[in-house]
Amino acid sequence: MSRPALFALAALLATPALALEEGTYPVTTANGAGELRVTGRLVSLLVTGPGCEAVAEGRVLRGADGAWAGVIETGAEPCVLLGSGSGFAPIGASCAAIAPVRCPLEGSIAVADVARPPVQVIRSLLRGRFSALDEPDRLAVQALLAEEGLYAGEVDGAYGPGTEEALIGRLQGMADRGEEVDG
């Protein structure tokens, strides 16, 4: 399949993949509690407790193995919150700019308690992203999905149940193989 078709497919799949991991995660640190919120490619952290208040916003980066990093601009050097599984920890001296000494940012995340968007939101994102492609790209995406055995319908550039099912199947297959699906 041509390079433009692969780029179109990657661009199409990027937004729904992010939506699968969006949500608000309960966070617990040594001196406080709060939330880590993931919205698209953005991450925000709010932790409060006795003598402890930390507020930060930045970009989220995801790894195929479930690891993630929140990159928060603090001035000269970014603070990096490195997370994996059910915990996270700050990397770099610049993280002191986000929270006072009495408020360490290292903590745990209740991943099981995340509030995720409903399936309709993900389907709406797929439909919107597919419809935003020009006709040659829509045809190329369907042809690529058919070539991979995920789409059995007519390659007509129209979004319907078959196209949606194939796109979701492609996303699921990528996740099952441990591939990064957030573009």
* Domain annotation covers residue 152: yes
Whether 60 and 97 share a structural domain: yes
Place of tokens 């994996």: 84
**Does residue 154 sit within a domain?**
yes
Both tokens of 29, joined, read: 């640190």
Question: Are 40 and 100 contained in the same domain?
Answer: yes
Look at residue 149 and tell me whether its pLDDT is greater than 70: yes
Among candidate residues 98, 113, 128, the one where a domain is terminated = 113
CA distances from 72 to 42, 59, 108 (A): 10, 7, 18
For residue 133, what pLDDT is reported?
87
- The pTM assigned to this predicted structure is 0.48
Beta bridge partners, 34, equal: 27, 47
pLDDT band at residue 136 under the 50/70/90 scheme: very high
∠45-49-50 over CA atoms, to 5°? 150
Say if residue 81 is in the same domain as residue 98: yes
Domain end point (choices 97, 113, 129):
113
pLDDT computed for residue 151 by the predictor: 94
Q: Residue 179 to residues 105, 110, 146, 176: CA-CA distances in angstroms?
A: 29, 23, 20, 8
Q: Are residues 40 and 78 in the same domain?
A: yes
Measured between alpha carbons, how far is 114 from 120 in angstroms, rounded to an integer? 17
Q: Are residues 158 and 77 in the same domain?
A: no
Domains contained in the chain, number? 2
pLDDT at position 162 is 93
Work out the average pLDDT over 122-142. Answer: 84
Q: Which residues of 50-73 are buried (b: 16+ CB within 10 A; e: fewer)?
A: eebebebebebbbeeeeebbbebe
Whether residue 82 is found in the same domain as residue 133:
no
Range of the domain at 88: 23-113
Asked if 103 and 158 sit in the same domain, the reply is: no
- Whether 182 is covered by a domain: the verdict is no
Q: Could you give phi then psi for residue 108, rounded to 5 degrees?
A: -120, 155
Q: Report DSSP state, residue 133.
A: S
